[in-house]
């Protein structure tokens, strides 16, 4: 087995001290160009690779960031995580991933005083079980970027789309199609349901802006944004004396569950009931029918979150927390407008 090349091996070949090799490898300026070139030739000849982890630990850094999400089996988060990993890799950081299942104690452990700081230098965090007060009580020295659920309190960055405006756009699309009885599936009227509440607000605002009054009996709460909850909520809606002719679902998974129920009852999407989702997951592009959805720019969310977190990690004086809005768009597909006949 070939012996691992060490810093001392490079120093001996280049005829310099180990300290000089270290200065070159780490990019320090106090080395002459001639010496730098000699060391670089020795590095290339021996195939030396610096121990990044040891270097980071010597500098009090791990070279890793943590990304903490409620559920890994949710396509939105798995797609977003891929984008975060790519963005972090470009900056030389590894990514540790943890699933909390929305458990408040599990989530609190990541941001508490004395959290696992030797394992990661900062956290990109999508909390589900913690409210705003719990975030305020965290370790303020931990670099933190929040996704999705909680607004910034000024000490961390919050990255996400404008849920109110996006939900208003989704609802307006259904109104513009001439739908009269529009339901909403996914409201969460409790302290940690802020994202759902913003979507409900957008749903109501769209009606008000068009001189309409939303029917409160058509706004259905769900514990999660998943397929089973969407299916159950749709069962309830279809049992009403006046069922909806359109449904705004707070995730594409909810929309998939709702469509399953609609079709199982012998109804058609969108002819009988139009359905719109949220998140633009891959499943919605291949479902039958394909799902009209609000499409957040996941690459932009990931890149912005990583950029702001690394700024907090490397800054001696952490910048003030910002509310950072990323782009989104309405993607119209078959679940609201039907199939387009080929010409």
Q: Give tens-digit pLDDT for 14-47.
A: 898 888 887 776 655 567 888 888 888 888 888 8
Residue 218 phi, psi (nearest 5): -100, 0
Does domain 163-296 fall into CATH 3.40.50.2300? yes
pLDDT of residue 48: 77
Q: Give yes or no on whether 64-161+298-327 and 163-296 have one common fold.
A: yes
- The number of beta carbons lying within 10 Å of the beta carbon of residue 64 is 17
Cα separation, 293 vs 271, whole angstroms: 17
Residue 125: CB partners within 8 Å, gap ≥ 6? 67, 68, 107, 110, 111, 144, 145, 146, 147
Q: Structural domain boundaries of the chain?
A: 7-50, 64-161+298-327, 163-296
How confident is the model at residue 60, as a pLDDT?
Answer: 59
What is the fold, at CATH topology level, of the domain defined by 7-50? Answer: 434 Repressor (Amino-terminal Domain) (1.10.260)
pLDDT > 90? residue 317 = no
- In percent, the amount of the chain with pLDDT more than 70 equals 89
Q: Are 158 and 132 in contact (CB under 8 A)?
A: no
What is the spatial distance between Cα 124 and Cα 110, in angstroms, rounded to a whole number?
A: 10
Contact by Cβ (8 Å): 134, 104: yes
Tokens of 302: 């990931």
DSSP 218: G
- Give the pLDDT confidence of 75-91 residue by residue, as tens digits: 999 999 999 999 998 88
**What are 255's two structure tokens?**
């929309």
**Closest-CA residue to 106 (of 143, 69, 62):** 69
Q: Is 288 helix (H, G, I), strand (E, B) or coil?
A: coil
What CATH architecture applies to the domain 64-161+298-327? 3-Layer(aba) Sandwich (3.40)
């Amino acid at each position: 087995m070939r012996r691992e090349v060490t810093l001392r091996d490079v120093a001996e070949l280049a005829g310099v001290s180990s300290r000089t090799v270290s200065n070159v490898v780490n990019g320090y300026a106090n080395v002459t160009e001639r010496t730098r070139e000699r060391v670089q030739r020795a590095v290339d000849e021996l195939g030396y690779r610096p121990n990044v982890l040891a270097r980071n630990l010597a500098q009090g850094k791990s070279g890793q960031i943590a990304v903490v999400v409620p559920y890994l089996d949710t396509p939105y988060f798995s797609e977003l995580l891929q984008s975060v990993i790519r963005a972090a890799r470009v900056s030389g950081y590894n990514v540790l991933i943890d699933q909390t299942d929305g458990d408040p104690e599990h989530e609190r452990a990541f941001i508490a005083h004395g959290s696992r700081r030797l394992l990661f230098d900062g956290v990109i965090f999508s909390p589900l079980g913690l409210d705003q007060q719990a975030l305020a009580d965290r370790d303020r020295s931990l670099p933190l970027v929040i996704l999705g659920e909680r607004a910034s309190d000024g000490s961390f960055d919050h990255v996400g789309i404008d849920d109110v405006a996006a939900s208003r756009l989704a609802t307006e699309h259904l109104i513009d199609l001439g739908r009269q009885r529009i339901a909403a599936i996914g409201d969460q009227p409790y302290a940690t349901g802020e994202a759902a509440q913003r979507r409900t607000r957008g749903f109501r605002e769209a009606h008000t802006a068009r001189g309409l009054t939303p029917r409160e009996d058509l706004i259905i709460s769900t514990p999660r944004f998943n397929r089973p909850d969407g299916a159950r909520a749709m069962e309830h809606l279809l049992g009403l004396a006046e069922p909806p002719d359109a449904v705004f679902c707070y995730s594409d998974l909810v929309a998939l569950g709702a469509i399953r129920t609609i079709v199982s009852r012998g109804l058609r999407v969108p002819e009988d009931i139009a359905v719109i989702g949220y998140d633009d997951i891959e499943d919605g592009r291949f479902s039958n029918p394909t799902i009209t959805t609000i499409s957040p720019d996941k690459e932009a969310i990931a890149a912005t979150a990583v950029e702001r977190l690394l700024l907090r990690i490397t800054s001696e004086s952490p910048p003030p927390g910002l509310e950072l809005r990323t782009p989104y768009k309405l993607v119209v597909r078959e679940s609201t407008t039907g199939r387009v006949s080929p010409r």
